Amino acid sequence: MIIPKSGFIIPTMGNKKIPSLITILLSCSLVLFSCSKATSRAKIRAQGQLCSTHDRPRLTNNQSNALELLLAKLVGPPFGTGAVLSISTGGQVNTITKGELRDGANPVNASTLFNVASVSKTITAARVVALSHQGRIGLDDPVHKYLPGVHLLDATDEDLSTTITIRQLLRHQTGLPHQPGAQLNPLVFDNQWQNPELLKKITRNWSIRLAHIPGGFHYSNMGYALLGAIIEKVESCRFADCMNSYLSGLGLHRATFAPIDAGANATHGLVARGDTLIFNPPAWYASSYSMPFTGAWISMPDLAKFGHLLGAAVQTPTLALHAMARPLKDNNRYGLGIIHQQRLGELTLEHDGSGPGFMARLVVVPERNLVLAVACNGSTESREEIERFRELTDAMLTVVLNKEPSS
């Protein structure tokens, strides 16, 4: 006889277990009981309380209470109607939820998808770095190798696309302008921003005037649009499809770069239209041009899991994201799609994002095996809102890094 941890007795013959009718019935009852517990947890999430993917959360009660109070400040003016915070400690994810998907809608929960604005760059960068790990992209390859129709022109009209590299795109060191302005002619793609072939069309023959001398740091959304086109070229698929396959392979099933797939449990961004604030549905930012730098929709538990994968790669060269996570060797804190920072005496890997209707932040503390992922669904992108969001999320990080929050 073998007595497993469940306490149920399983008859055996030699080394083989023989499932009896009683055992099968008890096993079914156990599954039903687990489903009932999962349903109860879902109700707790919707009510704005703490839930955990494990039975025993690592956060103390005082920490959880402090985090709930801080998260509540991301609901209501100047922010939106809903916010979610996930904390991963040792790979165990605790999630706190507050508010609604939009005014009068269902409550947000741990499965709710948020657009994470520029945190999307980190996820796009991860795919590029993973492709490099597989030998399919060289980080020091020139842009011209993958996008021969793209010409990066300096002040003398010299084409630098044969010398500007993938690594420089990832680190915002190309000299590209932040946005294309008049250098992106909508007539090239018949002004069809929703066209899934958009990246392919605009990079087929595109001359871009550099705004800065390559080598220095100049934040550029355009650079990440080009990275999206490179992913499409290497993987022979549309950017959203490439990325969704990658996310699924990582076990992140509440994540998508196709807003149409976000479903009913996705927040609507509260945006300003003149003097009026309105809610826009998830498909509002679906241009394949913008997807690589601001198009990710993801639940906070999945974003925390992604951060955990990133943190685990810091000291492990065999992992696909090691090149992205390992310490930098120069003074540019923006690495391969992630910012290397120091906060509260801890080295961190982080990125935040703000776009029309959303704010998000990912902070990984590798030495503590800790990840913070947080988002809310309201932003007019004012400096005051961004500073307030960072202030509140800094306070959350302080609570988690300390054993107990200050009273």
68 domain residue, yes or no: yes
Q: Same domain, yes or no, for 208 and 62?
A: no
- Residue 139 CA, chain-centre distance (Å), reads 22
What is the DSSP pairing of strand 50-52 with strand 82-89? unpaired
pLDDT of residue 25: 40
| Whether residue 129 has pLDDT greater than 50 | yes
Last residue of a domain, one of 187, 215, 235: 235
pLDDT in tens, 392-401: 999 999 999 9
**Is 204 inside a domain boundary?**
yes
Average pLDDT over residues 323-335: 94
pLDDT at 17: 42
**C-alpha to C-alpha distances, 338 to 143, 155, 188, nearest whole angstrom:** 20, 29, 32
Name the residue among 115, 81, 79 with its Cα closest to residue 98.
81
Contact between 137 and 167 under an 8 Å Cβ cutoff? The reply is no
Instruction: Report the distance separating Cα 183 and Cα 206, nearest Å.
Output: 9
In a domain, 335, yes or no: yes
pLDDT at 46: 34
**394 lies in some domain:** yes
Q: How far apart are CA 281 and CA 269, in angstroms?
A: 7
d(CA 145, CA 164): 10
260 and 396 assigned to the same domain: yes
Are residues 200 and 78 located together in one domain of the fold?
no
Segment among 22-26, 117-121, 287-291 with least mean pLDDT: 22-26
Q: Structural domain of residue 183, as residue ranges? A: 123-235
Q: How many domains does the chain have?
A: 3
In this prediction, residue 369 has a pLDDT band, given cuts at 50, 70 and 90, of very high
Question: Which pLDDT score is estimated for 4?
Answer: 32
Which band of pLDDT confidence, cut at 50, 70 and 90, is reported for residue 284? Answer: low
Domain co-membership, 115 together with 264 = yes
Q: Which amino acid is at 140?
A: D
Identify the residue with better confidence: 287 or 309. 309
136 with 278, same domain: the answer is: no
Domain assignment present for 320: yes
Confidence check: pLDDT of 70 > 50: yes
Tally the C-alpha atoms within 13 A of residue 184's C-alpha that lie toward its C-beta. 21
* 348 and 334 within one domain: yes
Flag whether pLDDT at 20 surpasses 70: no
Q: Whole-model pTM? A: 0.85
41 pLDDT exceeds 60? Answer: no
Examine the domain organization and report whether 100 and 135 are in the same domain: no
Q: 342 and 261 in one domain?
A: yes
| Identity at 305, one-letter amino acid code | K
Both 383 and 290 in a single domain?
yes
Amino acid at 343: R
Of residues 260 and 40, the one with the higher pLDDT is: 260
Q: Between 68 and 276, name the one with better pLDDT.
A: 68
Among the three residues 186, 215, 235, which one is the final residue of a domain in this structure?
A: 235
Whether residue 56 is found in the same domain as residue 192: no
Residue 89 has a pLDDT of 92
- 43 in a structural domain: no
89 against 263, higher pLDDT: 89
Q: What is the pLDDT of residue 9?
A: 29
Q: CATH number of the domain at 190, please.
A: 3.40.710.10
pLDDT for 187:
80
Tens digit of each residue's pLDDT (9 = 90 or more) over 206-246: 999 999 999 999 999 999 999 999 999 999 999 999 999 99
User: What is the identity of the amino acid at 293?
Assistant: F
In-domain check, residue 35: no
Answer yes or no: do 56 and 186 share one domain: no
- Is 144 inside a domain boundary? yes
Neighbours of 271 (CB within 10 A): 21
Final residue belonging to a domain, choices 187, 217, 235: 235
Please count the helices (runs of H) and the strands (runs of E) in the chain: 12, 16
Domain check: are 173 and 305 in the same one?
A: no
